[in-house]
Amino acid sequence: MRYRSTSQKAPLTSLRGAVLRGMAPDGGLYMPAEIARRSPEELEEFRSLPFTEVCFRIVKPFATPDVPEEILWQIVSEAINFPVKLVSLSPGLHVLELFHGPTLAFKDFGARFMARLMGYFVRGESRPLTVLVATSGDTGSAVAHGFLGVPGIRVVILYPSKRISEAQEKQFTTLGENITALEVSGTFDDCQRLVKQAFADEPLNKKAFLTSANSINIGRLLPQMFYHVAAYRQLPVASVPLIVSVPSGNFGNLTAGLFAKRIGLPVAKFIASTNANDVVPEYLRSGEFHPRPAQATYSNAMDVGNPNNFPRLLDLCRGRLEYVQKEIWGHGATDEETLAEMKAVWDRYRYISDPHTAVGILGWEAYKKEHPEPSQGLVLATAHAAKFAEVVEKAIGTAPPLPDRLAAYLKRPKLSLSMSSSYDDFKQFLLTH
């Protein structure tokens, strides 16, 4: 398998080259040069095989010949060692719980796989690899825990000051060792801009061995196909179309869904469910893409005003609006609607949803109003409600149960360093540390 840039001006590269570089030298994002479609018979076989075996089979065509089969099996089996649970709220609405990993968020799939993949790729390197990651919430903790203690790799996490929940913050600012957290005075988009500027800075890259752990890195996206297939394995066989509602910020989650559809997963439509930062739903309505500064919301992990996977979405749809609209339907929700939906879901189903999952359910309900024909809905539940205890309590009047491993982090002291949103300051930090 070779990887190409969405900007089409960089040479093809290997998986190793794509993962360790992060972004292509022409500023584009790496994509598989081809995506082989699986037969309906093989997809049906996925229903009965062990999940580890399914994940291994899905990723193998994307990883060979760079990763030997025995190494790839080890990476998959170590990274994906927690369950994916399907909860049916009604016969036509299902929630796929992706938060049963170590950091209680769906990012564990991509981060744990990528950390082990990078660890394999940097063996024998003489200089340490610096992994840069901007986070609007859950990416930081998943990446930090995935890479904690991995030899030859240090991680620098940038996050917007006072714009993520305490539970999210404590999960990655209390670790130390090879994990450094930078509390940036600004928005998530400022953090993302600093990371992209660092990759585009040739003199810096000659001195520092840099790569990304954001969803701009193809190594994060490939394993996110796993849980889209996990849903297919658990959903009842149905003759009606499957509509998948994806809470969306940087759009890596939805892009991975399109990858899964390209290998044959029978998804009729994806819903891009966003909060007030609705630049992609707006694009789907108007045909014009207008990035803007991110607004702070209760569903903070989706507070992204310039989604970095948008070029991949366009690439998968040949750059044409009508093809994007054929694949994706968009919906944006306000904070008030999100709180009301969390309460409605609790009252109706006795199910506690975090604000991101509530945005996903809102997207599904809005779609059904416009498309009342028979279909079944699947909403991706991206984070444990306890990570947003204050918002949950505000919505339903009671706080969700706090898992022991999350409670332990809340007691630990924060070790983050303050950082301005100036690129010169960030570059100086990287050069002196």
Closest CA to 105 of 260, 244, 249: 249
Block residue for tokens 């089409």: 8
- Residue 324 is encoded by which pair of tokens? 């994007």
* Beta-strand relationship, 417-419 and 179-184: parallel
SS (H, E, C) 35-54: CCCCCHHHHHHHCCCCHHHH
Which of 107, 196, 261, 269 is an active site residue? 107
DSSP 415: -
Q: CB–CB of 307/251 below 8 Å? A: yes
- Rounded CA-CA distance 38/18 in Å is 24
- Rounded CA-CA distance 130/132 in Å is 6
Q: CB–CB of 241/235 below 8 Å? A: no
SS (H, E, C) 208-272: CEEEECCCCCHHHHHHHHHHHHHHHHHCCCCCCCEEEEEECCCCHHHHHHHHHHHCCCCCCEEEE
Backbone phi and psi for residue 347, each to the nearest 5 degrees, phi listed first: -65, -40
- Residue 222 is encoded by which pair of tokens? 């490939």
The strand pairing partners of 247, in sequence order, are 273
Closest CA to 308 of 195, 224, 198: 195
Residues in the chain: 433
Cα–Cα distance list, 191 to 160, 165, 256, 409, 414 (Å): 7, 17, 23, 24, 19
Residue/partner pairs of 2-6 with CB below 8 Å, 24 or more apart: 2/33, 3/30, 3/31, 3/32, 3/33, 3/218, 4/30, 4/31, 4/33, 5/29, 5/30, 5/31, 6/30, 6/31, 6/311, 6/312, 6/314, 6/315
For residue 206, indicate whether it is catalytic: no
Block residue for tokens 């509390």: 183
The residues annotated as belonging to the active site are: 107
